[in-house]
Structure 1
Amino acid sequence: MDTESMLQVLDARRSVPSKQLAEPGPDHVTLHRMLASAVRVPDHGKLVPFRFIHIHGDARHALGDQLAARTRALDPDAPDAAVEKDRGRFSSAPDIITVVARLTPGHKVPEQEQLLTAGSVCFALLQAAQAFGFGAQWLTGWMAYDAQVAQSLGLAPGEKIVGFIHIGTPRLEAPERERPDPATLLTEWMPDA
């Protein structure tokens, strides 16, 4: 693939809202191929500071029921609409890959670098999903930071949810949105004379 073609692939990346993702999702072989590409990220120290949790099928609805119950527990006066929104968060996309950061405190590689590696996996997985013709969206939300949700998903101490990557067949073409002009973000550093 020539340079321009590769850049066009990168430039074509779009997030498809999770509510607009439907069956079919990737089959087992395709999903594993996507993950094989996603793990090819910078990883100082070769720590592999990430792992995956696959949520699909009826597990999506079970997790939604748990989120609804947790919403009610956190706020007994939460409007029914908010509870139902949380119940449905994982019901549209056929596959959700939870990317979990496995941080090693006190290692010579700072925890922030480990976390950035896990975040890079999320982005690479979005690219891999799009390469296979799927739509994908990287989401977090309150549930990514909730200790009870983490426990329910089997996270160990020191692990953190970095993202829920929703993957499926897009029901609409994701619109382009305005992107920043890199020239307005770039500065030149010069040493003091």
Structure 2
Amino acid sequence: MMDRNKLILTVLVASVAVNLVFIGGIGYRSSNMREFGPRPFPPNVGWVVRDLSEERRMELEPLLEQSYSEIRPIRREMGQAQRRVNELMASDTFDAQALDQAFTALREANERYQSLSHQQTITLFNELSEEERQIAQEFVQRRGPRDGADRSRGRNGRPGFRRGGPAGPQGGPGQPPFRPDRSGTAPPPGNPDQ
């Protein structure tokens, strides 16, 4: 009887501890979300305005909301196409033709998304001053907001998206190509021809 009571007490304490961890995590996330205002900016072109003043972001909000409502159906379609691909790849019976069609649908949705996203970026940049366009370009160059804390991406508070620092791996995008004639450099991983 005593062992059963100890077991129940142990399970109860463990359950309370797990619940407190989850509640703390939710509270932490909620408090960090408030730093950016009541709603995060749309993911497709919201990065353009992240480093602008709050007043300027509010001026551009109608344009951002419009772009988000235009791109939302394509994002949904991409998600459905990706789920279909995942289902077919995980299926017990492999159907190459169905998987090929699913990949085609995913690729087409992705191309529509990219095309619309690029057009929306052009439209938004058209509304920015030269200085504001420079600020947006700097955001892309450093791959994160000015304070260095990209809460939606990155690991351990670091703003970089790729291994090798903010500029990416050697030989990667934005980096000079690998040169075998230069001493002290190693070829990029995964390229046996260099």
Q: TM-score normalised by the shorter chain: which range applies? A: under 0.3
Of structures 1 and 2, the one with the larger relative CO (CA 8 A, separation 6+) is: 1
Structure showing greater radius of gyration is 2
Question: TM-score if structure 1 supplies the norm length?
Answer: 0.25
Structure (1/2) with the larger helix percentage: 2
Structure (1/2) with the larger strand percentage: 1
